[in-house]
Amino acid sequence: MKRLLFYLLLILQIAILFLFGVQYYFIDDYGRTVQLLSKHEEMTDTYGSYNQHTAYIDYEINFIAADAWEIAEEVDYNTKIYVLLDADSDGVFHVVKATDRKIDAEQDQVVFQGKYQYYNDMQKEYHVTYGIESFHPDFDFDHSGRNQSRITVQLAPWGQKKVTHIENLQ
């Protein structure tokens, strides 16, 4: 009996490790497509060796205006923040509100989970990161342009995010 239980637990552990390994690839099949805009003209910097580049993007949704910040008390660095996004007529998502409690999204909205970084007193905005600001692109994109870009992100039902396309806007 103990041996059977040992083998069942071993198989369960292997299955869980396998699921952790492949969940990134399931995002394309089960994820929701979200269009975002970059914040700055110089939105992408690539660095690294010939084979491996890392892109860094500041999104508009990284910077949350004080009137959309629905948290009454001061929060600590890296505090979990829930940001409600709504699509405009072009299909680009923008911040509606941010809170430290889970939010229910309506049909045309999504919720991104992020981490609080800091408050910019001069700009009167909060800075939140989502884990998609720095990534290794597994697709070709023109990183020579320094204009604003539209970034396609896949959002999985379990909250994981993946950048799938970058389009420079002229």
The pLDDT assigned to 12 comes to 93
The pLDDT assigned to 55 comes to 77
Domain assignment of residue 108, yes or no? yes
Domain assignment of residue 9, yes or no? no
The pLDDT assigned to 134 comes to 84
Domain assignment of residue 53, yes or no? yes
**Closest by CA position to 117, among listed 132, 107, 103, 127:** 127
Domain assignment of residue 65, yes or no? yes
Domain assignment of residue 81, yes or no? yes
d(CA 98, CA 15): 36
The pLDDT assigned to 118 comes to 96
Domain assignment of residue 71, yes or no? yes
**Total of domains in the chain:** 1
For 25-60, what is each residue's pLDDT tens digit?
A: 778 888 899 999 998 644 444 555 555 667 788 999
- Full residue range of the structural domain in which residue 39 is found: 31-168
Domain assignment of residue 13, yes or no? no
**Closest by CA position to 115, among listed 159, 149, 166:** 159
Residue numbers in the chain where pLDDT is lower than 70:
40-53, 138-146, 170
